[in-house]
Structure 1
């Protein structure tokens, strides 16, 4: 073991005692009701956070889990900001938005703690990917408990970090219990460190209550990561001597004797004895340090308790990024140049990758092969494997990696091929990507694009035919784009690759070969601006994706009978341009919504509700919806045809509405 110098031991002692005293204050504050939600203390595990973070620079980053107070303090979050956060105050490190489980301080490299087990592993891998792409020697650390090693994120994150030699240190704090489930009963292989070999990385088993051992091992692991040697897995065997969360019962799943035995192995006590045994530092000196820290924590507590509450008016700020100050000209006229939908998006992606070296694409087969739908054709030769990264089949893994990358300075494009596939990663999208800007009070941006195909066709059956945009549109923080033309697809993709919000870019499979006019120059189409595809006076039809083209065919049929139909394409469903729809309904008095996706709880229901709310007096007939059948998608062509609205169905629906 490389023994730290005496001054380093004192620094480690100081930081460990700071964590302990802060946590003890939080226990008291919880009992007083100052902590308004959960309080997961780190008492007993201080040696791990301090031993690892001692080797991190301010620009290195840490991702943690629900028991993250110690990691926050070890990385440099001031105690007053941690206390204020748990007290729900505006001066808290997350501005009162996070509490015990959601701590953010990107200014010191704490990129967030999560109440969900596992995402921190993927996000640290994503940060490592950013650092590799940006050619820096920064390091990412993921702290997680033993419960996370039985989660799929552990396998997917460690596997990706290993095959790409990412500069990441994975630190498992094995405190013997995942909530109240003993690790001994939850793992077929209880030797976490031994699992490192399965991923081709060093796995190091450590006494997590010996800060000197952790410090020495972390020094080598961080050095290895910085020098390009790749990731390391630590298993730090330790114990939390407080309940899983303050106020919870503690002795139904473990005994008082076990807790007392581990308290006797207190990491602070062990370090204190090691320091005094050298004879260079007296016990009185350490007592003085502890007294000084106690005074600091008491002052921090008083300051935090007196801090102001957040302004309720800010409760919904930072859900989305602040609009860019730079304006862009209106989209150009379409012109005569013809491209397919796929060619238009490829042109936009290629141009943005040339403009922004921080853009990289991950997905299955998007490298040399160019993607299942040629979404990246030819780009591998231009930008190489780091920017066109073929992945294992691990959608949750590379979506979570993309989240961490977007947090740390790059702009990932997640090509998930089919919308059905990315459902494996929906937790990362909804619980992490969509909420990151909000939880960090706008201090962390989320410039990530997630793209893939939607829609029924080609007898693809039920696992390659979903649309799902109503689901994503429901969640705050996400932009959801559903283009219907090559022109719109190019302009919206440029926009998506320049904004700071996460964007779901959903492309109907049956439109990829559609040709249309597309200008050569780059241009942006703003989100939340519907297109009036066809003007009319008798009825308004709002249609999405393939239904736009089916509706236009229906319009031609109806025009023979003198029926004038106005067609609105929302282009984006989040945000949704209700104003354009409302103006059209004020003119026509009738509204039909044509949508291939299921009717229950869908976009049509949202449009109908909003138009009924703001344009009820303009309506001359009830609002009608025409949707796909509420069923999984069948395989056989006659069955497939039966579940999707066609031109005849649209014509019939419009005629029925006009007869109302």
Structure 2
């Protein structure tokens, strides 16, 4: 810090002092509240680290955004969240900044640019990178900041996020708060390279080591980094060396992994006392601030404790965005036939032309046009910022997409094969699917994640997965599986106009299938099954490629006098059980044909819902036909043995009619 003898209580320094003190007094109040039982879960305080949040955020505008970690109280307050909203959130009250849905580790206030904190280590790095991509695409001079601890720098999100931000020169400031411990694991033990700042050069960006308890030095460095980001100079990495002087979380033991002497020594380096000493010649303004902040925090605590609990009736609101009601889709018979792949390409191209906020990320989707020609020709129309080839880093670009969707753009993540995106499943399930809910609907998540599914082409076990039962299980996700070119186009148009995250899964084996598709854009809403064929003897629900397989046997069975009513759900989340139930009421029998594994699958869910609501309409037990419960083998005879074929489908229908 500058020589104390030269310091004067300028307005800016007084603001820094006040903001650090406000964080400290709020944290002390929350620690007491935790002891009283007012805080119902974890409480991770920021005591000792106040200089970092305050120094960095002092340069941020309201439109700039912050993404944070589980120790995020200080970041929230520094970005402008009122103390009463922070305290009320930890008390679980409706007036909290997340309306009681988050507590200590999940703080949201997008109104002031606080885009959320996470109980998972690392996502904030990727989300800030995504916000930077949004700002670049929208030609805005905003800046995104990621605050994270030293534990995150050993996480894949750190490598993938910093690399993406560097190669695309995104306006992001990465702030590592190195407080020496990741929970209870010392950084000296966990890192082969003891310098976080030195890693900046590895990614082609400035890496700056700072005294994390010197608010003046941090503010000066942050000013340069933020200005650099705004002007197009790209990202910067800070390593702010500091220390948390309270336990990892309130109530946890503190002296099994560090000593009392170390903690007491670091308390002597308190950033607030340090700045106060710089004003030793004139403490009157600081004394006035001390009294003012104390009153503010005490008032905030009283108001938070007196505030109302959330209404239990709201526990399931904001899982999904408010549904749109598109015009009814046109008839399929349009006078022209195109392939499944051409239909989705047509929809994507039309939506990109209509919405400049849509961009596509994926491996080889630029000039090459995608492994399955999903973006063929679009690079020439829309350029490299909207058709962006990525490194092989699925977690990275999925997490980036989540941050972009939160900040005004609409990313399309083309992950090629469904197996590949499993590396990013944590971002999908823990972040993307939950963001609207945790923010109480204040943040939308208009992101489309698309890729191929299904067994065939001797692709073996890492290029043949289906996985839609897994994604359908999680609230917040829409899961779409078109089986015709007509449905593929209409469902993709709808996916690119809704505000929910959509898993758009395309059966690889039918991408070349042709069929009638109208030329004009149209939407097919989610949750509306297609009645593929009408019949009276048995209802067959088939998913994805299995729709074609069932159709292959319907005519032959008809010649035997067996009338099959075939239903394609189109989406498995949401699932149209009304249409299935109405069909079962007519036929009395139900067979579910699904390429995915049978155990714990979509067929089991359909069977349970129909049995629960339409049991009296059934004349026989519900039956399921699935692929074998095994990883997918390579050899053609082995592969063929795994998947239901037409003979097995016909036999299952006949057996069901014999029940």
TM-score, normalised on structure 2? 0.99
Tell me the SS of whatever aligns to 1:275: coil
Alignment match, 2:464: 465
Output the CA distance in 1 between the equivalents of 2:441 and 2:254.
38
Alignment match, 2:582: 583
Of 45, 50, 54, the residue aligned with 1:46 is 50
Alignment match, 1:217: 221
How many pairs align? 655
Q: 1:24 and 2:28 equivalent?
A: yes
Aligned-pair CA distance for 1:4: 9.7
TM-superposition CA deviations, 1:92-132 (whole Å, max 9, x none)? 00000000000000000000000000000000000000000
Alignment match, 2:362: 363
Alignment match, 1:87: 91
TM-superposition CA deviations, 1:219-258 (whole Å, max 9, x none)? 0000000000000000000000000000000000000000
TM-superposition CA deviations, 1:250-287 (whole Å, max 9, x none)? 000000000000000000000111133xx4xx213211
Output the CA distance in 2 between the equivalents of 1:602 and 1:72.
41
Q: 1:187 and 2:191 equivalent?
A: yes
Tell me the SS of whatever aligns to 2:264: helix
Aligned-pair CA distance for 1:330: 3.4
Q: Equivalences for 1:87-486 in 2 at 5 Å?
A: 87-276=91-280, 279=281, 282-324=282-324, 327-486=326-485
TM-superposition CA deviations, 1:357-388 (whole Å, max 9, x none)? 00000000000000000000000000000000
Alignment match, 1:616: 615
TM-superposition CA deviations, 1:43-97 (whole Å, max 9, x none)? 0000000000000000000000000000000000000000000000000000000
Aligned-pair CA distance for 1:327: 4.0
Structure 2 unmatched ranges of 5 or more: none
Alignment match, 1:548: 547
TM-superposition CA deviations, 1:308-351 (whole Å, max 9, x none)? 00000000000000123x64233344322110000000000000
Output the CA distance in 2 between the equivalents of 1:396 and 1:275.
48
Output the CA distance in 1 between the equivalents of 2:628 and 2:591.
17
Alignment match, 1:525: 524
Alignment match, 1:489: 488
Whether the 8 Å CA contact 1:334–1:487 is kept in 2: the answer is no
Aligned-pair CA distance for 1:556: 1.3
Output the CA distance in 1 between the equivalents of 2:592 and 2:290.
68
Output the CA distance in 2 between the equivalents of 1:336 and 1:539.
32
TM-score, normalised on structure 1? 0.98
- Structure-2 change in CA distance of 1:4 and 1:213 (3 Å): farther
Alignment match, 1:33: 37
Structure 1 unmatched ranges of 5 or more: none
Whether the 8 Å CA contact 1:370–1:377 is kept in 2: the answer is yes
Q: Which runs of 4+ in 1 moved over 4 A?
A: 1-5
Q: Equivalences for 1:537-576 in 2 at 5 Å?
A: 537-576=536-575
Tell me the SS of whatever aligns to 1:607: helix
Tell me the SS of whatever aligns to 1:193: coil
Output the CA distance in 1 between the equivalents of 2:551 and 2:43.
58
Aligned-pair CA distance for 1:504: 0.1
Q: Cα RMSD over matched residues?
A: 1.0
Output the CA distance in 1 between the equivalents of 2:316 and 2:506.
30
TM-superposition CA deviations, 1:117-175 (whole Å, max 9, x none)? 00000000000000000001000000000000000000000000000000000000000
TM-superposition CA deviations, 1:500-550 (whole Å, max 9, x none)? 000000000001000000000000000000000000000000001110010
639-648 vs 552-561, which moves further: 552-561
Output the CA distance in 1 between the equivalents of 2:612 and 2:123.
40
Alignment match, 2:630: 631
Output the CA distance in 2 between the equivalents of 1:16 and 1:328.
54
Tell me the SS of whatever aligns to 1:189: coil
Alignment match, 1:513: 512
Q: 1:597 and 2:607 equivalent?
A: no
Of 10, 17, 31, the residue aligned with 1:13 is 17
Output the CA distance in 2 between the equivalents of 1:338 and 1:93.
52
